């Protein structure tokens, strides 16, 4: 619990150390409630840290918090939320991943394509093909192409 209290530290390096430390530990799912409550009252950097930390765990109860984090103006929070949804492996998240192939940030779009490659199916092929064909960034093109190969589609 002392580690979680450090999530609100003003230092970014301390917050990142908390993310790494939490990712290497086993935390009880009951801690989700504490982190969810903290997220709602936190600053954007602290919200980012909470979502980054939760993306290391497969707590089904984190699904609603990841959805909430996708509304963040902070692209790193959105990218971590996409990663967290991918780690959950919850197929309800696939339409959300497809939607975020159109995000304003290249990192979010790339993460969405990568996660679709890990979890997606033939239903995701049109969105991935569109991203591969129209996205102006090579990184998104690469991950969309990779995702299509993982799903079993030739690019």
pLDDT, tens only, 2-17: 666 676 677 777 766 7
Verify that 3 and 54 share a domain, yes or no.
Answer: yes
Of 88, 122, 143, which marks where a domain is finished? 88
Of 88, 123, 142, which marks where a domain is finished? 88
Query: Rounded mean pLDDT of the chain?
Result: 86
Q: What is the pLDDT of residue 112?
A: 97
Q: What is the pLDDT of residue 22?
A: 66
Q: What is the pLDDT of residue 10?
A: 72
- Total domains in the chain come to 2
Of 88, 107, 134, which marks where a domain is finished? 88
Task: Choose the weakest-confidence range: 21-30, 90-99, 143-152.
Answer: 21-30
Verify that 122 and 149 share a domain, yes or no.
Answer: yes
Report the candidate in 14, 64, 12 with the shortest Cα–Cα distance to residue 35: 64
Residue 80, domain extent: 1-88
Verify that 100 and 84 share a domain, yes or no.
Answer: no
Verify that 61 and 115 share a domain, yes or no.
Answer: no
Q: What single DSSP character describes residue 8?
A: G
How far apart are alpha carbons 19 and 118 in whole angstroms? 23
How far apart are alpha carbons 136 and 22 in whole angstroms? 36
Cα angle 43-45-49, degrees, rounded to a multiple of 5: 115
Q: What is the pLDDT of residue 59?
A: 77
Residue 115 predicted with pLDDT over 90? yes
CATH number for 58: 1.25.10.10
Indicate the pTM of the whole model. Answer: 0.81
């Amino acid at each position: 619990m002392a580690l979680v209290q450090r999530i609100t530290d003003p230092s970014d390096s301390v917050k990142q150390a908390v993310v790494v430390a939490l990712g290497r530990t086993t935390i009880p799912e009951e801690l989700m409630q504490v982190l969810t409550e903290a997220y709602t009252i936190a600053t954007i950097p602290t919200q980012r840290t909470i979502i980054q930390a939760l993306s290391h765990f497969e707590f089904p109860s984190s699904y609603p918090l990841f959805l909430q984090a996708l509304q963040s103006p902070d692209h790193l929070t959105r990218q971590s939320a996409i990663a967290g949804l991918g780690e959950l492996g919850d197929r309800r998240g696939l339409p959300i991943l497809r939607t975020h192939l159109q995000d304003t940030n290249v990192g979010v779009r790339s993460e969405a394509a990568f996660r679709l490659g890990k979890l997606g199916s033939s239903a995701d092929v049109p969105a991935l093909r569109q991203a591969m064909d129209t996205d102006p960034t090579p990184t998104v093109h690469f991950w969309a192409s990779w995702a299509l190969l993982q799903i079993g589609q030739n690019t």
